[in-house]
Amino acid sequence: MVRALITDPVDEYIVNELSKNGITVDYKPGINRDELMSIIKDYEVLVVRSRTKVTREVIDAASRLRVIARAGVGLDNIDVEYARSKGIEVLNAPEGSTQSVAELVIGLMVAAARLVALQDRLVKGGEWPKGKYVGTELFGKVLGVVGFGRIGQRVAELARAIGMKVQAYDIVDLRDKATKLGVDFVDFEILIRSSDFITIHVTLTPSARHMIGEREFQMMKDGVIIINTSRGEVIDTKALLKALNDGKVAAVALDVLENEPPKEPWEVELVRHPRVIVTPHIGAETREAQRRIAEILVDKIIKYLRTNNLI
C-alpha cells in the first residue's frame, strides 16, 4: 500500500482525494525536522509547501520515496537534481496560483504608490495626515516586468487594463508572446533604466540571486517603485535599504524576504521602513488558488503513481 506524508498545511482536497485513490495519508503540518527524518523512510509520497526543506539528508533517509510534490510553484526548498538522480519524481503546480499572485501584485502597486499602509498606521495612531503624502497614479506609467512567465504575463494584462505601458524582460526570448499582449520585450538594462514601476517574477537560480543590487538601483529612475513577489534573494536587501534611504526608490512592496521571517538587522530595518509594505509570502494564499493547486497536484500524483503501477 502506498503511503503519503503531508508536512505543511494544504487544502483538504489533497488529503481526501489521495485517500479516495487508496493511498494512506498521514497529515502532519508543522512536523519538525527530527521527526521527519525519523519517519520519512515509511513513505512513497511526500507533499510539502515552502516550509519543509527537502535536503539531501532527507532524501537519503527516504528509502521508499517515489514522489516529492510541492503544493505551489517554487522548488528552491527541494534538492530537485539530487532527488531525480535517486529516481524520485518531483512535481509542482505552477499553474494554480497565477491569478492570485497577479492580483496581489496589482494591489501592492496601488498600495505602494499611495503609501496606503503608512497612512493607515498614522490614522490609527491618532494622526490625520491628509495632504502630507502625495501619491502617484499607475495610469500612463511604465511597468517593467522582470520574468515573463505565467504570472508576469498575467500581471502585464492586468496592468495594461489599468492603462500602464508595459515592458518585459526574460532570459527566454518571449518577444512573440509579448507582442501579442501589447508588451515591449526589452533588454534587462533598458527595463531597469526606464521603468517607473518594477515587478519581479523570476525563478530563484544562482544567477538570479541579487540580480537587483546596488548597480541596478543606481541605474533606475529617481522615485521608482519596486514590487517583489517571487523570491527574496533576488534583491540585495542591503542595497535596497540604502536606495530607499537615499530617496532613489520611492516605495517598495515585498511579499518575500531573504530570510522569512526577517532576522538580519538590515532586514528588520527594511520591513519597518515607512515606505515599505511587507506581506508574509501570501501570493498564493487565497481559497481559490489553494484549491486549484490541490486539484492540479493530486492529478499529477495519481497519474504518476498509476503510470508506474504503484496504485
Reported as type and span, the H/E element at residue 146 is strand 142-146
For 176, how many CA atoms within 13 A lie in the half-sphere containing its CB?
2
The neighbour count for residue 124, using CB atoms within 10 Å, is 8
Sheet with 67-70, edge to edge strand ranges: 24-27, 3-6, 45-48, 67-70, 89-92
- Residue 80 sits at φ, ψ, to 5 deg, of -60, -45
| Cell numbers that stand for 93 in this block | 503546480
Q: Please tell me the distance from the alpha carbon of residue 254 to that of residue 105, in angstroms, as a whole number.
A: 9
Reported as type and span, the H/E element at residue 300 is helix 287-307
- Residue 146 sits at φ, ψ, to 5 deg, of -95, 110
CB burial of 218-233 (b: ≥16 within 10 Å; e: otherwise) equals ebbbeebbbbbbbbbb
Amino acid at 82: Y
| Cell numbers that stand for 181 in this block | 499582449
Active site residues: 231, 260, 281
3-class SS of residue 274: coil
User: Do 166 and 184 contact (CB within 8 A), yes or no?
Assistant: yes
| Cell numbers that stand for 125 in this block | 495612531
